[in-house]
Amino acid sequence: MSFAVSAQLEARLDELTTHYPVKRSASLMFLHALQEEFGHISPEAVEWTARKLGLQPINVYELVTFYPMFRQERVGKTHVKVCRTLSCALAGSASIREHFCKKLGLDAHAHTPQTTPDGKFTVEFVECLAACGTAPVVLVNENLHEQVTTAKADAILAGGV
Amino acid sequence: MPEQYKLILKHADEPGYTPDLGCYLRHGGYEALKKAFATSPRALADGKSLSPQEVVRDDVKASGLRGRGGAGFSAGLKWSFVDRRSGKPIYLICNADESEPGTFKDRQIMHKDPHQLIEGMIISCWANDVKLAYIYIRGEMPHGAKLLEQALAEARNAGFLGKNILGTGYNLEIYVHRGAGAYICGEETGLIESLEGKRAYPRIKPPYFPAVLGLYMCPTIVNNVETLCHVKHIVTMGAGEYAKLGTPNNTGTRIVSLSGDVKQPGYYEIEVGKVTLGQLINDANFGGGLKPGRSLKAVIPGGSSSKVLKAGEVFKLNRKGADGQMTKVDVPMLDLPYDFDSLQAAGTMSGSSAIIVLDDSRSMVETLANLAEFYAHESCGQCTPCREGALWLAKGLHRLSHGEGRKADAEYLSHIAQNIQGRTICAFGEAAAWPVLSFIKKFKDEFEAQGAADEAAHAKGAGPSHELKLAASPNQH
Ligand SMILES: Cc1cc2nc3c(=O)[nH]c(=O)nc-3n(C[C@H](O)[C@H](O)[C@H](O)COP(=O)(O)O)c2cc1C
Ligand code: SF4
Ligand code: FES
């Protein structure tokens, strides 16, 4: 897919830069918007952002590599982020992640995000999602699922999102 | 039996309460802002007088409000440090990064009552001559960000925000800025760097105190979501009435996030210091006690970075007797009033007011291994002791929790932690070291026994000496 920012998106981003006295501040918001649109941050997206904000590409690239939410590879349409941190671990999040992986034929022992070959699902561990009272929690794309059981996990997989 | 006292969360969970402006206005919304704008100047004994803005700043100080983000620093005092003579603009940032493990209170406010936060912010900005402010919300709360943006747009349309607010001539803009999954953005100078569009590398203090050299090297106020909400109630109630809530030096209410091994995990708003740790864990109004057949092993009292408390510990605390004299009294751990000062006196902190309860089924080694992995993942990497040390701690604990430990690991891990704390740019160093130091100090037998068992099993050529329960997790490094 070639990298082309629609006029509509560009207008939205231009408006964003007006929120800050220094354009560079809009970097993270640009990257969020571009990742939402294109699914990941490509080298073209980095260069485009740098050009728009009057920066060197390295200034943007170093953000993509620092902030865990930004990714340089494509991920599954349904992105399952299982909370790994203590309260969720106490409530069994490790077995929830394993369940997702097994159901999808992914390697439950791998360290990095796992994506199904058909590109439909990615499963990964993330750190505390600030919903520890309803552990274990799973963020699926933009939706938070709380008190997740294996049955709920199956429902998430069946529903796509 | 003590009960919740709902000031901030008064309406949030009422049936039919919605996050839109109409609902907020029906519940008395933005009346505090109008009251603040109508503040009269206050004459002082020395013949000088305080401007309306100074009066509100003074009231926030007099209310005793302490920051709800972690450090518990006086909000009024923090505001008084702001450099108002530099001629530079003053910025205000709401810290909505909420990422201290165990904490989920700001989420409730932002998702259920965003206008309360916005009203608190507008009053705080007005009182501090701020014309531009940001809400820095963690990236994993996309719905929260949208709700806040909607609420800001509503407030703008209704004349509470933007140019010439309510005809007072005061101009203010507030924008939402999203983080992107890094815990260190919660540290206020890391947050500022991040808001400048850079990596969230915390700045060294001195000289970079936000009140003087903050956002764009201008004076900047950084306050937590809950702290800013309290400002609204201080204006509504008056500083004196507000200060009657809670206990001396620990005024107001606080939302406690309770998770882990209790029957009823959740968020509970209490008058600070009026409820004990034990009541929060055991009372039917709060945690409802441990799960059937379980007993208490340990409590992490103020977010994952706070030092752990062991069941049965007793602390010597200063108490004022009937005669006004201070005496030392023995206070068992569960009888500690849940407030800033008592937990500090017990050698730990109320931090982000997140309590994580551990019962007797839990391995302290595995629990600590889980936390260490968090800190290894989240170190920003600027300081060698933190970057390397946090990783060593995680690796050492991974080894110990996966049957490859040694008896000497307990000493080794404490040694690493000691070499992190106090040697770093930001307080993350302490945050990573304190759990390790306190877990190993208070549960040394458990750590050493596990290491010794591993050594013995290894010598016999047997497999791991214990079964993994919690962290069947892959080590991420
Ligand atoms: C590693 C680290 C993480 C922090 N995370 C948060 C956070 O997520 N939210 C927050 O409000 N404060 C956090 N803080 C505290 C902030 O630096 C700052 O003290 C606080 O936002 C000030 O607001 P307050 O005075 O209203 O509490 C963190 C501090 C450190 C050292
Ligand atoms: S202490 Fe750790 S998190 Fe803080 S600045 Fe140093 S390396 Fe970064
Ligand atoms: S530990 Fe999972 S949401 Fe906090």
Cα-based distances in Å from B432 to A157, B358, B392? 36, 19, 11
Which three-class secondary structure state does DSSP give residue A83?
strand
For the whole prediction, is pTM greater than 0.95? yes
Q: From the CA of B461, how far away is ligand 1's center (Å)?
A: 48
Torsion, CA B158, CA B192, CA A71, CA B394, rounded to 10 = -130
User: Per-residue pLDDT tens for A24-63?
Assistant: 999 999 999 999 999 999 999 999 999 999 999 999 999 9
- Contacting residues of B for A62, CB less than 8 Å apart: 199
Q: Which residue of A has its CA nearest to B287?
A: A133
Give the separation between CA B386 and CA B419, rounded to whole angstroms.
Answer: 9
Q: Which of B135, B159, B145, B114 is nearest to B18 (CA)?
A: B114
- Tell me chain B's radius of gyration from C-alpha atoms: 23
Inter-residue contact B338 to B405 (CB < 8 Å): no
Query: What's the CA angle centered on B340, arms B338 and B342, to 5 degrees?
Result: 65
Q: How many residues does chain A have?
A: 161
Q: What is the pLDDT of residue B477?
A: 43
Q: What is the pLDDT of residue A161?
A: 47
With a 6 A CB cut-off, is A126 part of the ligand 3 pocket?
no
- Provide the b/e sequence for B213-228 (b: ≥16 CB within 10 Å): bbbbebbbbbbbbbbb
Inter-chain residue contact B104 with A133, CB threshold 8 Å: yes
With a 6 A CB cut-off, is B378 part of the ligand 1 pocket?
no
B121's enclosing H/E stretch is helix B114-127
Torsion, CA B374, CA B375, CA B380, CA B385, rounded to 10 = -160
Q: Which residue of B has its CA nearest to A111?
A: B476
Torsion, CA B325, CA B330, CA B333, CA B337, rounded to 10 = -20
Q: Is the pLDDT of residue B475 over 80?
A: no
This model of the complex carries an ipTM of 0.97
DSSP B39: P
Q: Is the pLDDT of residue B85 over 70?
A: yes
Inter-residue contact B224 to B109 (CB < 8 Å): no
Instruction: Determine the residue among B95, B97, B140, B161 to mutate to test chain A binding: the one whose Cβ has the most chain A Cβ atoms within 10 Å.
Output: B140
With a 6 A CB cut-off, is B101 part of the ligand 3 pocket?
yes
Q: What is the pLDDT of residue B476?
A: 45
Q: What is the pLDDT of residue A160?
A: 53
Inter-residue contact B136 to B177 (CB < 8 Å): yes
- Between positions 398 and 457 of B, the ones with CB within 8 A of A are none
**Token representation of residue B299:** 């409590």
Q: What is the pLDDT of residue A109?
A: 87
Q: Which of B301, B352, B342, B435 is nearest to B71 (CA)?
A: B352
pLDDT level of residue A2 (50, 70, 90 thresholds):
confident
Cα-based distances in Å from A36 to A45, B165, B409? 12, 34, 45
Chain A / chain B CB contacts < 8 angstroms: 160
pLDDT level of residue B137 (50, 70, 90 thresholds):
very high
- Contacting residues of B for A80, CB less than 8 Å apart: none
Q: Which residue of B has its CA nearest to A143?
A: B143
If you search the block for the tokens 């090297």, which residue do you land on? B217
Ligand with the closest atom to the CA of A132 = 3
- Contacting residues of B for A26, CB less than 8 Å apart: 197
User: Per-residue pLDDT tens for A66-90?
Assistant: 999 999 999 999 999 999 999 999 9
| Rounded average pLDDT over B412-438 | 97
Give the count of beta carbons closer than 10 Å to the beta carbon of residue B4. Answer: 17
Q: Is the pLDDT of residue B354 over 50?
A: yes
Q: From the CA of A96, how far away is ligand 1's center (Å)?
A: 31
Looking at the complex, report in whole angstroms how far the Cα of residue B40 sits from the nearest Cα belonging to chain A. Answer: 33
With a 6 A CB cut-off, is A132 part of the ligand 3 pocket?
yes
- Between positions 142 and 201 of B, the ones with CB within 8 A of A are 142-143, 173, 175, 177-183, 194-200
Give the separation between CA B338 and CA B268, rounded to whole angstroms.
Answer: 12
The DSSP string of B132-185 is EEEEEE-TT-HHHHHHHHHHHHHHHHTTSSBSSGGGSS--BEEEEEE--S-GGG
Ligand with the closest atom to the CA of B185 = 1
Inter-residue contact B407 to B451 (CB < 8 Å): yes
Q: From the CA of B420, how far away is ligand 1's center (Å)?
A: 20
Instruction: Please say whether the dihedral angle defined by the alpha carbons of residues B40, B46, B47 and B50, taken in this order, is positive or negative.
Output: negative
Q: Which residue of A has its CA nearest to B218?
A: A21
Inter-chain residue contact A89 with B374, CB threshold 8 Å: no
Cα-based distances in Å from B422 to B101, B207, B336, B432? 22, 17, 27, 11
- Taking the CA of residue B104 as reference, the ligand 3 atom at the shortest distance is 4
Inter-chain residue contact A125 with B476, CB threshold 8 Å: yes
The DSSP string of B282-348 is HSTTTT--SPTT--EEEEE-SSTTSPPEETT-EEEEEEE-TTS-EEEEEEEGGGSBSSHHHHHHTTS
The verdict on A27 touching B (C-beta cutoff 8 Å) is yes
**Beta-strand relationship, A143-145 and B42-43:** unpaired
- Contacting residues of A for B195, CB less than 8 Å apart: 25
**Token representation of residue B467:** 């079964």
Domains and CATH numbers, chain B: 21-244 (3.40.50.11540), 246-359 (3.10.20.600), 364-459 (1.20.1440.230)
With a 6 A CB cut-off, is B99 part of the ligand 1 pocket?
yes
User: Per-residue pLDDT tens for A112-141?
Assistant: 899 999 999 999 999 999 999 999 999 999
Q: What is the pLDDT of residue A95?
A: 96
- Between positions 347 and 376 of B, the ones with CB within 8 A of A are 354, 356, 358, 362, 367, 370-371, 373-374
Least reliable range by pLDDT among B273-282, B287-296, B312-321, B369-378: B312-321
Inter-residue contact B372 to B307 (CB < 8 Å): no
Inter-chain residue contact A133 with B258, CB threshold 8 Å: yes
With a 6 A CB cut-off, is B69 part of the ligand 1 pocket?
yes
Inter-chain residue contact A90 with B261, CB threshold 8 Å: yes
- Taking the CA of residue A84 as reference, the ligand 3 atom at the shortest distance is 2
- Between positions 46 and 105 of A, the ones with CB within 8 A of B are 53, 55, 59, 62-63, 66-70, 81, 84-87, 89-90, 94-95, 97-98
Q: Which residue of A has its CA nearest to B179?
A: A28
Inter-chain residue contact B216 with A86, CB threshold 8 Å: no
Ligand with the closest atom to the CA of A91 = 3
A81's enclosing H/E stretch is strand A78-83
Q: From the CA of B424, how far away is ligand 1's center (Å)?
A: 17
Q: Which of B24, B61, B55, B59 is nearest to B42 (CA)?
A: B55
Looking at the complex, report in whole angstroms how far the Cα of residue B264 sits from the nearest Cα belonging to chain A. Answer: 9
Share of chain B above pLDDT 90, in %: 93
Q: What is the pLDDT of residue B462?
A: 76
| CA distance between the termini of chain A | 24
With a 6 A CB cut-off, is A82 part of the ligand 3 pocket?
no
| Rounded average pLDDT over B426-432 | 97
Minimal Cβ distance to A94: which of B138, B200, B471: B471
Q: Which residue of A has its CA nearest to B354?
A: A132
Q: What is the pLDDT of residue A8?
A: 97
